[in-house]
Chains A and B, each alone.
Chain A
Amino acid sequence: MVKKKAYFLAFLIFVGFLLVVGRLAYFQIIKRDYFLSYIERQYKTTEKVVLPRGTIFDASNRIVSISVPTLDIFAITPYIKDKERLAKELSKILKQPYSDLLRKLNSNKRYVVLARGVDKSLKERLIELRKTLQEWNLGIVETSKRYYPLNSIGGTTIGFVNRFSGKGMGGLELKYDELLGGGTGDVYLMKDATGNPFTIEKLPKQEDTYDIQLTIDTNVQHIVEEALAKLVKTRKPKEALILVVDPNTGDVIANATYPNYNPNRYWKYKSHKNISFHNAYEPGSLAKPFVLAEAIDQGKVKLGKKYYCGEGKIFVDGIRIRDHKSFKYLTPEEVIIYSSNVGAIKLALGLDQEKLYEKFSMLGFGKSTNSFPGEATGLVHKNNRPVGVAYASIGQNWTATAVQIAMAYSSIANGGYLLKPKFIKKMVNRETGEVVVPEREVVGKVLSDKSVAVLQEVLKMVVEKGTAKRGKSDYFTIAGKTGTAQKYDPRLKALSDEKYYTWFAGYFPAEKPKFTVVIFVNEPKKIKKWERIGGGGVSAPVLKDLVDRIMFYYKQKPDKDGNTDGTKHARKD
């Protein structure tokens, strides 16, 4: 009897165990996914956040663009108990108008973002507020915001990141978007009992992203922007730019443009153009040195020999083309030094025209350098009619971007090599720490040694005694060329006598070039009524201060008149 009872009890226990095991199997195997998702709904949450991108540094390791951790505040409006009170308390913390917050909370949308990019230090106060008001449907999510500590310095070049998508939308931020990473991603967060996300479960992995060090030096950028601001103040142009590159490496050192913008508030600006890359303009007399170079290479010119320069005018295909001054006889060198249109046209008309256009193409004109997003190509018309060649030789009827001009003039400075503009000094992989240093890219040898030697001497004389003499520095040798192009006036259906593009392109120190500079002004205004607008009067004078300041920043000794120690100019006291 006792034995039977024992067996019965054992059977009951066994059945009980079976039931428990069966139930466990039901929960663990059959209903596994359902309960897992149920638990996840209770304890986990997914949020779309802007992911941090790689940091951008300038050449002297100063941060120009950084992703800083911030908060996004959102609300699920149907479940907010006291909207007015919440709006009132939030407005005190977020320093945002009460009416704005209340309007958002009262909107028909179920999910509203109340504030983006809020300072992370406010997190504790916001959590406290949520706890006090028992508003568990007020969400606080950690995200990141792209911040530009130097504000508008180099704005158009650095570019900006879309504040919602986290992707580069302009400038170098767009160009190096893939290298920098970022964008948006789903972040899995674990919530505590109050619904507050307290730990990140899974952050989207960003592979092969880099911190980038630029070739741009923000100190030089600032010097250049100051010089540009001064120019804009006096000349009130439509657009203006100063571009500084290293002629030996192609490194872009500074690029100041007017108009410019502050990438921290990019949405407030209508245009985000970087006119050094996005716009092409007629280069005017900047084309003349390349005509001379081609004439030397074709052996169609005798240096030092005087040529008749038409005394201020020339007729080509029945069209009169004027000079800015009446020149009678000039040597080919003087044609460049004093920028004679007639002289340059005569040189060009004696050349093999196909080869002249080929030279322009070799120098990079009419082709994008592919160094900046959305870069213009410029347009070189192959017009073999004499009048077409005549206009081409004086830089009318074809266009070039400032960066093309800079690289073409750099080729004179560096011995005839066309380089690709470069923005990256080095890149550091954020995961592995691997350092990548891009090499300089030589497109090709575009000028012969003979023409380079002549042009280097001639361009020095342009600044010393020619059309750019107003830009002459007392301490440093500068070589370069001024340019003036008449703008086409659609009302007159002819070239305007009032509206001009003025240029200066050159390099310094002339003996051992370290910097190529391009100064461009679109429609500068006259300072005096009788003034004649031109590259020599508008663009060149900017040079003087600019060269001295940049060279002092790099602690360079004056090189003029053999003064390598600067003693000649030192104060005698």
Chain B
Amino acid sequence: MVRERVYELKKDFSQAGKYFTYVMFILSMAVGLAVYNHYYFKVEKDIMTLAKLKGQLQAKNLMLKKEISGLSSPDRIDKIATQKLKMKPVDYSKVRFIDTK
């Protein structure tokens, strides 16, 4: 009885062995697809995160540019120069030009 079973099993295995390459091929394809899928979604997620970060940085950059421009406003600089530092408009009689040839 046992002998017969072992024989059948051997037969089944030898039968299955014929399709082993196909099975392995399908399996490896499936694993490959799963890995690719995982990688694809990871990259997709990274792209989204980076795009969001890019947007945030661009927004921050624009806000900083706006602030720099506001801070370098001639109006503001003039107020600091005249009110805080007590500077006066130029008097040409006190200016010397030095030629550097």
Contacts and interface: CB of A to CB of B under 8 A. Distances in A.
Given A566-B96, A569-B93, A222 B74 contact: yes
Contacts of A475: 92
B65 interface: yes
Given A549-B90, A571-B93, A150 B69 contact: yes
A557 B99 CA distance: 10
Contacts of A199: 48, 51-52
B87 to A, nearest CB: 13
**Range for the number of chain B residues in contact with chain A:** 20 to 34
B73 A570 contact: no
A372 to B, nearest CB: 23
Contacts of B75: 150-151, 153, 222
B52 A149 contact: no
B65 A63 contact: yes
A408 B66 CA distance: 38
Q: Dominant SS at the B interface? A: helix
Contacts of B69: 62-64, 66, 149-150
Given A150-B73, A151-B73, A570 B99 contact: no
Contact of A558 (B63, B67, B92): B92
A572 to B, nearest CB: 10
A566 B95 contact: yes
A66 B62 contact: yes
A541 interface: no
A570 B92 CA distance: 7
A6 to B, nearest CB: 18
Contacts of A441: none
A474 interface: yes
A545 interface: yes
A271 to B, nearest CB: 22
A432 interface: no
A558 B94 CA distance: 12
Interface in B43-101: 48, 51-52, 55, 58-59, 62-63, 65-70, 72-75, 78, 89-90, 92-97, 99
Nearest to A571: B94
Contact of A565 (B48, B67, B97): B97
A163 B69 CA distance: 21
Interface string A140-175: 000000010111010000000000000000000000
Contacts of B78: 222, 226
A387 interface: no
B21 to A, nearest CB: 26
Nearest to A150: B73
A200 to B, nearest CB: 8
B92 A548 contact: yes
A383 to B, nearest CB: 46
Interface in B16-36: none
A549 B89 CA distance: 7
A569 B94 CA distance: 7
Given A63-B66, A63-B69, A120-B59, A565 B99 contact: yes
B73 to A, nearest CB: 5
A147 B69 CA distance: 11
A68 interface: yes
A548 B90 CA distance: 8
Nearest to B68: A63
Given A69-B62, A120-B59, A570 B94 contact: yes
Given A69-B62, A570-B96, 13 more contacts: A63-B66, A63-B68, A68-B63, A149-B70, A150-B70, A221-B74, A222-B74, A222-B75, A474-B92, A557-B97, A566-B95, A567-B96, A570-B94
Interface of A: 62-64, 66-69, 120, 147, 149-151, 153, 198-200, 218-219, 221-223, 226, 474-475, 545, 548-549, 552, 557-558, 565-567, 569-571
11 contacts: A63-B65, A67-B62, A68-B59, A68-B63, A69-B63, A150-B74, A151-B75, A153-B74, A567-B96, A569-B92, A570-B94
Which 7 A-B residue pairings sit nearest by Cβ, starting from the closest? A222-B74, A149-B69, A63-B69, A149-B70, A69-B59, A552-B90, A475-B92
